[in-house]
Structure 1
Amino acid sequence: MSEALQIFSTKGDLAHVALFLWASASSALLVWSLREQAASNQRFQDFVEEIARITRLLDG
């Protein structure tokens, strides 16, 4: 790993490595948040379906 950093630092590409790491982290965070949002939407849909089922049961 240190060899890779040595190569990038001698060629002046360390800023590109930092930008790549930032972009990768941002993309990973976006994917994680979209997955969490999808899971939240599914839980809410399940809740609404259960409420509708209870309402139908009580209305008879």
Structure 2
Amino acid sequence: MSELIDTFIARGDLAHLALLLWAGAASFALWFVLRELAAASRRFDDFVRELEVFNRRAGRSSRGGGEAANDG
């Protein structure tokens, strides 16, 4: 890696080296953010699914056995 940096320094391409490092860091940051966003989306989906199950169970027990209890 040191040889690569020395080559850039010797040729005066420090701007290109800086641009390469910036592009690498920006790409890594984007990948990390997208990965975390996908994980958060999965966690939220799991939460909503569990909440739906809970509401279904709680609704049956509080109405006394199902939808038919509200007909009268």
* Same fold (TM > 0.5): yes
2:66 counterpart residue number? none
Match for residue 57 of structure 1?
Answer: 57
Structure 1, 31-40 or 2-11: larger mean CA deviation: 2-11
Residues in 2 aligned to 1:13 and 1:49: alpha-carbon distance in whole angstroms: 54
Q: Distance in 1 between matches of 2:4 and 2:40?
A: 41
Aligned to 1:32: 32
The residue number in structure 2 matching 1:17 is: 17
How does the TM-score come out when normalised to structure 2?
0.76
Which residue number in structure 2 is paired with residue 44 of structure 1? 44
Q: Percent identity?
A: 48
Structure of greater Rg: 2
Runs of 5+ consecutive residues of structure 1 not aligned to the other structure: none
Runs of 4+ residues deviating >3 angstroms:
none
**Unaligned segments of structure 2, at least 5 residues:** 61-72
Bigger share in helix: 1
* Cα deviation, residue 2, structure 1: 2.8
Matched, 1:6 2:6: yes
Q: TM-score, normalising length from structure 1? A: 0.89
